[in-house]
Structure 1
Amino acid sequence: MNQQLGHNGLPDADRIADYLEGKAQRFADRAGRTGDAELRSRATTLNAAASDIRARLFED
C-alpha cells in the first residue's frame, strides 16, 4: 500500500481522519451543551468516516 506522507510526517489519510475526529468532537461537545440531536448525528457520522479512513477503506 502506498502511503502519501503529509507535511507533518503523518500519512495524508491520518491527517484527514484527525481533522474529522476533531470536528466530530466539537459537534459532540456542542450537542452536549445544547441537546441538539442533529449535531450528535453529525458527530457520529464524522467519527464513522474517520474510522473508515483509518482502516484504509478508501484508496487512490
Structure 2
Amino acid sequence: MLLRIEDVSERLHLTPRAVRTAWYEGRIPAPIRVGRRSIRWRLDELEKFIASQPGAVRPIKEKSDVKV
C-alpha cells in the first residue's frame, strides 16, 4: 500500500512540511516517485521505521486477537 504525504504526516504526528524536511535530511525512509510530480511512501517501510524508533508504541491488539 502506498501512502500520501498527508497519511505519513498523520502517522508520524508531523506536519507535511516537517515530513518533507525529515525526508530531505534522511531521517525517515525515502518515498518512491509514482508520477512526474507525485511521490508516495510504502506502508511496510514506514511501519518498520516507526517500530524501530526508541519508545515506539506497538498497535493495540484487537479483542478478537487476545486469547483468554
TM-score for both structures, normalised by structure 2: 0.25
Which gives a bigger RCO, structure 1 or 2 (Cα 8 Å, sep 6+)?
1
More strand by share: 2
TM-score for both structures, normalised by structure 1: 0.27
More helix by share: 1
